[in-house]
Amino acid sequence: MGMYWDVRPSRILAGVRGNRNARLRVVLPHEDLSHNRYIMSKQVSCAIAYLKQTSRIKQLIKNSLIGSGWRIAGFAAVAASLWFIQPIVSAAADTPPAANVESRQLDFWVGNWSVGAPGSAPNAMSIVHHELDKCLLIESWDGGRGHKGENIFAYSADDKSWHGMFTDNRGRVHVLTGKEIKPGLVEFTGTSGADQMDRVRVTKISDDKVVQSWDKSTDHGATWKTEFRGEYLRKSS
């Protein structure tokens, strides 16, 4: 008894993508289809389980499998078809956001640092670390004399920009956007009030030295005045 399965994945995938009423066809050119009219319920359940990560395609395939008037002749054909579809529909979900090159552009800043003004001994400290599966960068700093703060940074693939929020225990909050991005440099800009602009640059000098500068402008960016410049020296482990 000869059975021939038409399980070419390109035909199946094209049908499912292009037509909500598409059906998975099993071609048996030399068999009377009436001899194979039965529903393999357990096999259908297993086939549907392959698509649990993609609800839309799952519903399309499920409707095709258990729709009125259809019978499945052989689980092997269905499983083979889904084996080809699964990598396509799950590839994006399997790629973590932290794997993007852009989201790694501030990794040089991760570490335990001593911070001081140029030419002066360090008088502050900073710890920079990742959270949320490396999607979030957090700087916790202590400037001495009870002045502390936390700054958080994240890259958004939606607008292809870094975003930073700078806060301290004196109630100051600045939310800036980083669109100027180069190797070893991310520049954040934003506004404070109607007339003041802020610009923060985080620059890699070497593996063990980073500089953060904070500039302000009151003429819409025509000129800038440096309010803070901190040199970060990596502490010995």
- Please answer whether residues 141 and 124 qualify as being in contact, where contact means their C-beta atoms are separated by less than 8 angstroms: yes
Where is the domain boundary, 48, 67, 95?
95
- Cα distances (Å, whole numbers) of residue 39 to 43, 60, 71, 72, 123: 9, 18, 6, 6, 75
The verdict on 122 and 222 lying in the same domain is yes
Range of the domain at 84: 9-95
Poorest-pLDDT segment among 2-11, 89-98, 101-110, 171-180: 2-11
* Residue after which a domain boundary falls, among 95, 114, 129: 95
**209 DSSP β-pair partners:** 206, 233
φ, ψ of residue 13 in degrees (nearest 5): -65, -40
- The answer to whether position 2 is within a domain reads no
Domain match, 84 and 105 both: no
At 58, the pLDDT band (50, 70, 90 cuts) reads: low
Grade residue 193 by pLDDT with cuts at 50, 70 and 90: confident
- Of residues 52 and 146, more confidence is placed in 146
Are 131 and 216 within one domain?
yes
pLDDT band at 96 (very low <50, low <70, confident <90, very high): confident
Per-residue pLDDT at 195: 85
- Shared domain for 171 and 118, answered yes or no, is yes
Q: How many domains are contained in the chain?
A: 2
Residues 90 and 105 in one domain: no
pLDDT at residue 225 greater than cutoff 60: yes
On whether both 115 and 62 belong to a single domain, the answer is no
Sorting pLDDT into bands at 50, 70 and 90, what band is 20? very low
Regarding whether 212 and 103 lie in a shared domain, the answer is yes
Decide if pLDDT at 173 tops 90. yes
Residue 3 lies in a domain: no
Domain stop point among 95, 128, 156: 95
Assess whether 17 and 65 both reside in one domain: yes
pTM score, two decimals? Answer: 0.61
At 179, which CATH number? 2.40.128.20
What mean pLDDT is predicted for residues 195-224?
96
Claim to verify: residue 88 and residue 110 sit in the same structural domain:
no
How sure is the predictor about 204, in pLDDT bands with cuts at 50, 70 and 90?
very high
For residues 226 and 129, membership in a common domain is answered with yes
